[in-house]
Amino acid sequence: MQKVYDVAVFGGGVVGAMIFSDLSRAGYKAVLIEKELDVATGMSKANSGLVHAGFDAKPNTLKAILNVRGNKMYPAVCKRLGVKLKNCGAFVVGDNLDAVKELYNRGMQNGVKNLFVLNRKELLSALPNISDNITCGLFAKDACIVDPYLLTICLAEEGVVNGGAVALDYQTSSVIKKGNAFEISGSRGKILARRIINCAGAGYNDIASLIGSEQYQTEFRRGEYYVLDNSEGNIVPSTVFPLPTKAGKGVLVTPTVDGNILVGPTSYESDYDTKTTDFGLQDIRAKVPLMLKNVNLSKTIRVFAGVRVITGDDFIITNSKKVENVCNIAGICSPGLSCAPAISEYVIKKLLGLEYKAKADAVKIKPYLRLKDLSITAQNKLIKQNPDYGKIVCKCEGISVGEIVDAINRPIRPVTMDGVKRRIRAGMGRCQGGFCSDKVARILAKENKMKIEDVVKEHKGGYYLFGDLGGR
Amino acid sequence: MKYDVVVIGGGPAGMSAGVESSRNGAKTLIIERNPFLGGILKQCIHNGFGLHYFKEEFTGPEYAQKFIELVNKEKNLDVLTNTFVTKIDGTNVEITTEFGKKVVEAKALVLAMGCRERTAGNILLTGSRPSGIFTAGEAQRLVNIQGKLPGKNVVVLGSGDIGLVMARRLTLQGASVKAVLEINPTTSGLRRNIVQCLEDFNIPLLLKTTIFEVVGKNRVEGVYYGSVDERYNKIEATKKFLPCDTIILSVGLVPETDLIDMQINPKTKSVFVNDYLQSEKEGVFVCGNVLHVHDLVDNVSMEGALAGKNASDYALNRLKKGKQYALSHSTEISYTVPTMIHSGEGTAVIKFRVRTKITKSYFVLKNAKGEVVAKKYVMACLPGEMQTFEVDRSLINSNLVLEVAGL
């Protein structure tokens, strides 16, 4: 008889992966279903990487409650996974003290601790390059930065090592209730599960229509970003926002855990399309100097865009009223990343009524190894054990053959070049893979026992090259 | 490990520096990250190299081989391949190899790390980010080293030399090169490459034209392209779609200064040096494309030799310099290497580029009193062509300015 999962989770973003991991660690049989070739390929790969303190959301909304709770949960989650989390704090700066105080009060109502209203002089000591028009600001000490894709990948891996299954490249074609279980059919066979959690992000409504559960009116808002060279990594010590407007939190400048600087996002209504535009990039270019003076956009190494999926003012996290044993999670835009641990806790405890606590024998994943974070002695020891750790492939980020091979031979094996990049940063530096992508593609092909012609960048059909010279 | 001189980089600049340093009596080491010497020459299988240096035409690998043989002959010269320099500390370097990490001590250091290509991110290429966008050098490596075809229907953005060479190379491999788009009113590559790589193969060159938007989710499906005005604004009315599966970028080179912790000259995007190619850091010499991007490898080799000579003199306490003066330039000139120049013995070499096309003029070097110290006639020169100017150090006794003067 076919295995019946306790829970099927649609969507391998940070929320899906968190729920998948938490369920698996609590001893349930869970399956994570993802239509792309890898987890963390939608919103979870293209955002600001911030764990907000929680002062921004309207009091008593899910956004506010789950953000404050999520922020508190993050250190333990990241420590467990060995994912970098940096408590660098966040500033909101502007010229309207009333607006700053309003944010402060909202933060207090939301239960945010460690908020400080600062005058220009106080701001200058932390941010010497704030623009001349900035007179006041708010500092949220508890805000953090995190690597959102590595976090998502590690969570999904953690689900796997704790007995869960991941179905990648799974195009769902139907979901039918059969007895007390759902029969999910798709491109890679049938999956049976007693409960369904739909957190498919931009694909939420598609899955909901197959299940017969509630669909929600959805708005997409594109956010474009600049990524600056790590030579600029010290221009701000913390995340810096302008005072928020109706359109969102505005164009921010933030360090990343890996030493780059992100500048963005824009917020324009769009289709689900992650293209960058001259208009959007120009908009950012015009806005940044109003906040900070020293942001050198000529040091850009990449531009990208992500799309937020918005369903009204608050998240939708609820049990379906139409179909029993289906949980709807929709409209997880900002601060979705910050809320993810708390969303998982809320869903498992409150909505599913299941045990949330991890079992005593829950397994930890092996953290990703980055040689350059170790002492020279430790590096030499590893190189002696495995000379591949001394063969550097990605010169910009200093990543060796050994680290790439390790990143491929994981509980969830990456099959794409971007999958390798998100796991170990090969190709993430200033040359953007110009010197190493052919080498990475070769290692990927070898480790996965495939031909280099079959290696794709990110999506199915997105081949890296066209075979041998002279055709095949 | 201890050496008089350590050279970082085993491309044309580094090999030449290493050979010269060794010939000058210094115990020298060349460190190369690849399994072989030769640098980017190894993938440049086209001809046109060596006409100035060897008075004979070679392909890239042949030119490299000439120097590899010279390196092999030197008794005083060691080579470490498959070796990454992971840190520079004064004149000492930390290396990473399959045998571990260690420090190599040197009395003098020659930086010869070459340059890297500007990327889609650097030029803010907008649209989607699918598979099929390559820098020209990356495509060249795939074709010439790995024997793989990166694309079948190709648009080349930028008219740098590698892009032009790749337009021809891909055409010869059966790909269809739809067009070469250049945002500037003039090409940045050498004239001979425009003729031999584009015109001879009927590949259209569209000036004042650029990509407006990349289209394609999985693999590149095409580009929206069109004209730009004098201020490089895209003219929306000229926007057209061109189907293709590959975009090759040849949009400029940047010195590879990753390991260098010094003040950067915004004009060359590299460090400041004096006429001995010595940087602001004591004992650190710089040459080749890591100092400023050259047009011809022959010039790189010559500059490497000069750096190798001076570094070895420095290491052996033989470098005798006169008084140092500043060298500045007028607005017709975009930069000079060096920016500091010494009085004393021998000849100082000044390399520079002009900002716009110059015809029938003189390059003149003036002293602080406005007197002409040296001058050189120029028939015609383009921004893409590096200029050389030599001056007798005995004539130098004040700060200098390099200018362009009419006849």
Tell me, yes or no, if A451 comes closer than 8 A to chain B by beta carbon. Answer: no
Least CB-CB distance to B126: which of A276, A396, A453? A276
- Chain A residues within an 8 Å CB radius of B213: 275, 277
Q: Do B99 and A304 touch (CB under 8 A)?
A: no
* pLDDT given for residue B382 in this prediction: 85
* pLDDT given for residue B24 in this prediction: 98
CATH class of domain segment(s) A371-454: mainly alpha
In this structure, is the dihedral angle defined by the CA atoms of residues A448, A451, A457 and A460, taken in order, positive or negative?
negative
- Chain B residues within an 8 Å CB radius of A438: 138, 141-142, 146
Name the fold adopted by B323-407: Immunoglobulin-like (2.60.40)
pLDDT of residue A184 exceeding 60, the answer is yes
B109 membership: H or E segment, kind and range: strand B100-111
Same fold, B119-251 and B323-407: no
**Distance between A373 CA and the closest CA of chain B, angstroms:** 13
DSSP A347-372: IIIIIS----SPPTTPPPPPPPP-GG
**Distance between A334 CA and the closest CA of chain B, angstroms:** 23
pLDDT of residue A471 exceeding 70, the answer is no
CATH class of domain segment(s) A1-86+145-217+312-367: alpha beta
* pLDDT tens column, B305-360: 999 999 999 999 999 999 999 999 999 999 999 999 999 999 999 999 999 889 99
Name the fold adopted by A90-141+219-310: D-Amino Acid Oxidase; Chain A, domain 2 (3.30.9)
pLDDT of residue A1 exceeding 80, the answer is no
* pLDDT given for residue A247 in this prediction: 65
Which A-chain residues 155-174 have CB contacts (< 8 A) with chain B? none
Mean pLDDT of A244-269: 90
pLDDT of residue A81 exceeding 50, the answer is yes
Confidence of residue A2 (pLDDT cuts 50, 70, 90): confident
Q: Do A277 and B126 touch (CB under 8 A)?
A: yes
Lowest mean pLDDT segment, chosen from A96-105, A244-253, B25-34, B198-207: A244-253
- Chain A residues within an 8 Å CB radius of B124: 276, 278, 281, 300, 303
Q: Tokens 């680290």 identify what position?
A: A403
Mean pLDDT of A83-93: 97
Q: Each residue of A409-437: b (16+ CB within 10 Å) or e?
A: ebbbebbbbbbbbbbbbbbbbbbbbbbbb
Q: Assign 3-class secondary structure to A35-81.
A: CCCCCCCCHHHCCCCEECCCCCCCCCCHHHHHHHHHHHHHHHHHHHH
Between residues B363 and B383, the one the model is more confident about: B363
* pLDDT tens column, A390-411: 999 999 999 999 999 999 999 9
The mean pLDDT value of chain B amounts to: 96
Count chain A–chain B contacts defined by CB atoms under 8 A.
141
Mean pLDDT of A362-374: 94
* pLDDT given for residue A315 in this prediction: 98
**Which residues on adjacent β-strands are paired with residue A7?**
A30, A195
* pLDDT given for residue A365 in this prediction: 98
Tokens of A282: 């120009």
Least CB-CB distance to A390: which of B96, B137, B174? B96
Q: Decide yes or no: CATH 3.20.20.70 for domain B119-251.
A: no
Mean pLDDT of A127-153: 97
The mean pLDDT value of chain A amounts to: 96
Same fold, A1-86+145-217+312-367 and A371-454: no
* pLDDT given for residue A307 in this prediction: 95
Q: Tokens 């002492």 identify what position?
A: A375
Domain range summary for chain B, segments of one domain joined by +: 1-117+253-319, 119-251, 323-407
Mean pLDDT of A138-160: 98
CATH code for the domain defined by B1-117+253-319: 3.50.50.60
* pLDDT tens column, B97-135: 999 999 999 999 999 999 999 999 999 999 999 999 999
Interface probe for B, chosen from A229, A300, A370, A392 (most Cβ of B below 10 Å), is A392
**Distance between A247 CA and the closest CA of chain B, angstroms:** 23
Cα separation, A224 vs A268, in Å, equals 9
* pLDDT given for residue B129 in this prediction: 97
Q: Do A278 and B130 touch (CB under 8 A)?
A: no
* pLDDT given for residue A472 in this prediction: 46
DSSP-based three-state secondary structure for B327: strand
Mean pLDDT of A5-19: 98
* pLDDT given for residue B187 in this prediction: 87
- ipTM entry: 0.95
pLDDT of residue A40 exceeding 70, the answer is yes
* pLDDT given for residue B384 in this prediction: 80
Least CB-CB distance to B148: which of A376, A457, A467? A467
Percent of chain A with pLDDT strictly greater than 90: 94
* pLDDT given for residue B191 in this prediction: 85
DSSP-based three-state secondary structure for A105: helix
Domain range summary for chain A, segments of one domain joined by +: 1-86+145-217+312-367, 90-141+219-310, 371-454
* pLDDT tens column, A413-428: 999 999 999 999 999 9
Tell me, yes or no, if A189 comes closer than 8 A to chain B by beta carbon. Answer: no
Mean pLDDT of A357-372: 95
* pLDDT given for residue B314 in this prediction: 98
